[in-house]
Structure 1
Amino acid sequence: MPVSLSVVRTACLIALVAPFTLHAESAVHVLTGTLGKSPIVVELNLTSAEEVTGRYFYEKYHKDLPLSGSSKGNDLTLTEGLSYDDQADLPKLVLHKNPDATWAGQWSSKGKTYKVQLAERAIAAPDQAAEPGWQDIYKQSAYDYLRLTQLPLKADKKTTFMGHALQWWVEPASGVSMFEITSGYPTDQAARINQQLRARLWQEVVSYNECMLNASRSGGDFVQTVTPHLLTPGIVSLNVFTSYDCGGAHPDFGDSPLNLDAGTGKALTLEDVLWVGKGAPLHYERDEKGDGSFETYSDYRSKQFAPWLVAQLKATQPADMQAPETEDDCDYTDPSVWEFPSWYFTEKGVYFGPYFARVQRACEGPEWSVVPYSVVKAHPGGTKLMLPE
């Protein structure tokens, strides 16, 4: 969902001189201004005049409120709700584009009306001193980036794991947290590792806000547990377990580990660590441009990797890997549940987590599905790693 200590920097906002048009090529626009006396930030997707979508947040609260509606000429008519919300009493937002490319209008709800003044701004990209991960988030969404600049982190608990001191940090609005490593690695090495951890923290904050936006009609839930699993001279490995309800038919949960080469601080793909195919290891997850198609990658996972993994687990965990007696039991002998597993390093080997269909999600997270390092080392991936004995 991200981390060294940096000071949260305020984004520099520069006014645009280019006119703000409503043509299809306009795509996504970020505006800042006021609703009544309250500062707000607005994002609008103006690709389709018939289906304008967007969101906004009050700078005091930073919580997304959805917008949907349509445009006609220089006028926007929006409802404060998702496109499928049909409540008659939802707040309304009506805006008109002025000749100077600013926007003016009013927000109204239940007899109350407030003046709205907005202007599109060019959001300056974060500089090298900005928080790790902000550069990538800025490229994804200037709106999300602006919100992050207003969310200072708070120092939380201090813990120790495998002889390393950990300082935990939390973003209070979302409750998302992550640690940084404050002892046990050389300074430059720790800085590279902590940059990855902090970047992951911020990305999880973005994910939290996306979830809450989608669940804005009924209220959502987004709870994470971060667990370090291995801190050695060669490897940093942790798991992020998220339980979430983002407005879909059912709540859900899942693992999203982060595995780093401690020497370089770079994130590792499974093919960096383990390769059971022919020729050089694929690196589709890391570089989609240079290492073939997803079809090639998927073919390797389904026809070579997954059957190999099933065979290894049958050899080391025969009792747990027995075929089920009924269709309702967990079938860990089915290679398809191991094609795209979650994975992370442990002291004993590499842990693999299978993926089941929703009706059998309780089958996920077995404690025993670990491939020993002696086996992993016999099938090295594309990156030379210092693995435990």
Structure 2
Amino acid sequence: MLKGLLRGAPIATSLVMLAVMLCSSAHAGEGRRIFTGTLGKMPIVLEVQTAAPTNISGRYFYQKYRKDIALSGVMQGATLVLNEGEQPYGDEKPLPQIHLNIETGKAWGEWSNDQGKTLKIELTEAELPAISAGTLPYLAKLYDAEPYEYLRLQGMKLKQGKTQTFQGYSLQWWSEPQTKTAFFEIVSGYTSEVRDRINKLLLGRLWQEVVEYYGCFSAGGGAYYLQTVKPLLIKPKVISISVGTEAYCGGAHPDYSDAYINIDAQNGKPVTLEDVLWVGQGKPLHYEERNSEQSAEVSSAYSEYRNNEFAPWLVAQLRQLYPEEMQPIPDDNCTYGEQDHWDYPTWYFAENGIKFGPSFSHADAPCAFVDWSVLPYSVIKQNPGGVAVQLP
């Protein structure tokens, strides 16, 4: 029956309604255990890292709310004694505690607070439903690498929003109501195969933003996460999309960031800057800044290239194209002529070239918002990258 319900449904509506074929234990690293069950009468998902008995960490969420509650503690005999949350500075009020006993395949214990309230905990080792062949690549990766996060997304559905026409292409917006994160899929143009690949990428990014939203709220009180998505360029050859984030996830200051999704619209695959532009020696590197699985050797080579070859070249190009803007201004912290602001710039495809954005410290963050730093496609085409991207 479930397969029948999913057949022909829009890709966004069935993202996490995954067809159940088999069940398997939640994948986890050494010492990492994931359980599902109840705290009192409330369903929860709980994760603990037990590799170091004197420094146990963990977290759990109520399935109704999905927000993390941090755990930390020690092993006392056969029992985990875990404090819930973090003690505010100067506050000596006892934290709620969880006493948990773990055996093969199950765990049980008790939650209590300083007011004498106790709640029973009953858990079993988490099992994940096997995923269907049509699952988004991002969710499939989450299934293998972060089963706790995958379980958090179970049962969440997207809400269909407005339709929009942008540069001749029809866009359908979707949002996740609890986190208010939103993204669109492209519903006209391109071949069906390429469009499907593009939309899997875009809607996978929506779910990634949902995961990052909850990761931010694990910081506790005062946290917030606001996301703004804008299509910048949708053309037959390339696509660029802005993902802006304003968030406070703990620490001294809020964070403001602009990230960009850049896609080769000929095949629907994401591209890095080195795929498009290469000014170094030898074969162009392919380094994905959001991919933590790349080797230390590749990461080192990437940093060396950006610092020693790319940044000096880019600064020289910008000085030639925009001599006035690149000149230092007395008593102004926006020193655009300095190389270290261009080692790792943001970038996206614009109508007339690649638009670069300089990087600045948090204190000088407003300096990063400039509208002039475009490198014309004529320059880009003289220095092609590792992928034959057809530029506008």
Aligned position for 1:151 = 156
Aligned position for 1:234 = 237
Shift in Å at residue 359 of structure 1? Answer: 1.8
Aligned position for 2:222 = 219
Match of 1:355 among 335, 359, 371: 359
Aligned position for 1:374 = 378
1:185 is aligned to 2:193: no
Aligned AA for 2:164? Answer: T
User: Aligned partners of 1:194, 1:300: CA distance in 2, in Å?
Assistant: 32
Offset from partner CA, 1:67-115 (integer Å, 9 cap, x none): 11111332011111148876524221111235x6421111123332111
Aligned AA for 2:284? Answer: P
SS of the residue 1:5 aligns to: helix
Rate the CA distance shift 1:164–1:249 in 2: closer, same or farther, 3 A.
same
1:170 is aligned to 2:186: no
Map 1:256-271 onto structure 2 (within 5 A): 256-271=259-274
Aligned position for 2:66 = 62
TM-score (norm 1): 0.90
User: Aligned partners of 1:255, 1:370: CA distance in 2, in Å?
Assistant: 16
SS of the residue 1:253 aligns to: strand
SS of the residue 2:45 aligns to: strand
Shift in Å at residue 212 of structure 1? Answer: 0.6
Shift in Å at residue 26 of structure 1? Answer: 4.1
Shift in Å at residue 313 of structure 1? Answer: 1.4
User: Aligned partners of 2:69, 2:18: CA distance in 1, in Å?
Assistant: 22
User: Aligned partners of 1:269, 1:65: CA distance in 2, in Å?
Assistant: 36
Match of 1:385 among 361, 374, 389: 389
User: Aligned partners of 2:311, 2:135: CA distance in 1, in Å?
Assistant: 41
Offset from partner CA, 1:187-232 (integer Å, 9 cap, x none): 1111010010011111111111111102x1x220111111111111
Map 1:66-85 onto structure 2 (within 5 A): 66-82=70-86
Aligned AA for 1:43? Answer: E
Shift in Å at residue 330 of structure 1? Answer: 0.4
User: Aligned partners of 1:26, 1:317: CA distance in 2, in Å?
Assistant: 54
Aligned position for 1:9 = 17
Shift in Å at residue 294 of structure 1? Answer: 2.4
1:36 is aligned to 2:43: no
SS of the residue 1:315 aligns to: helix
User: Aligned partners of 1:241, 1:182: CA distance in 2, in Å?
Assistant: 23
Map 1:88-107 onto structure 2 (within 5 A): 88-98=93-103, 101-107=105-111
User: Aligned partners of 2:186, 2:128: CA distance in 1, in Å?
Assistant: 32
1:275 is aligned to 2:282: no
Shift in Å at residue 126 of structure 1? Answer: 2.4
Q: What is the Cα-based RMSD across aligned positions, in Å?
A: 2.5
4+ runs deviating over 4 angstroms: 10-16, 83-87, 286-292
SS of the residue 2:172 aligns to: strand
Kindly, what percent of the aligned residue pairs are identical? 44
Contact 1:68/1:83 (<8 A) preserved = no
Give ranges in structure 2 of 5+ residues lacking alignment.
1-9
SS of the residue 2:132 aligns to: coil
Once structures 1 and 2 are overlaid, which stretch shifts more, 119-128 or 341-350? 119-128
User: Aligned partners of 2:337, 2:140: CA distance in 1, in Å?
Assistant: 43
Shift in Å at residue 15 of structure 1? Answer: 7.5
Aligned position for 2:3 = none
Contact 2:24/2:129 (<8 A) preserved = no
Aligned position for 2:4 = none
Shift in Å at residue 122 of structure 1? Answer: 3.3
Aligned AA for 1:351? Answer: K
Offset from partner CA, 1:305-328 (integer Å, 9 cap, x none): 1111112212222221112323x4
Match of 1:130 among 135, 139, 148: 135
User: Aligned partners of 2:170, 2:148: CA distance in 1, in Å?
Assistant: 35
User: Aligned partners of 2:298, 2:286: CA distance in 1, in Å?
Assistant: 10
Aligned position for 1:284 = 287
Rate the CA distance shift 1:191–1:285 in 2: closer, same or farther, 3 A.
same
SS of the residue 1:363 aligns to: helix
Rate the CA distance shift 1:221–1:87 in 2: closer, same or farther, 3 A.
farther
Give ranges in structure 1 of 5+ residues lacking alignment.
none
1:302 is aligned to 2:307: yes
Shift in Å at residue 150 of structure 1? Answer: 2.0
Offset from partner CA, 1:1-32 (integer Å, 9 cap, x none): xx94351325858476xxx9xxxx84211100
User: Aligned partners of 2:43, 2:343: CA distance in 1, in Å?
Assistant: 48
Shift in Å at residue 130 of structure 1? Answer: 2.4
Match of 1:196 among 201, 204, 224: 201
TM-score (norm 2): 0.89
Aligned position for 2:7 = none
SS of the residue 1:224 aligns to: strand
Offset from partner CA, 1:118-145 (integer Å, 9 cap, x none): 1112324423222441011122210100
Contact 1:272/1:381 (<8 A) preserved = yes
Aligned AA for 2:48? Answer: L
Aligned AA for 1:317? Answer: Y
Rate the CA distance shift 1:198–1:15 in 2: closer, same or farther, 3 A.
closer
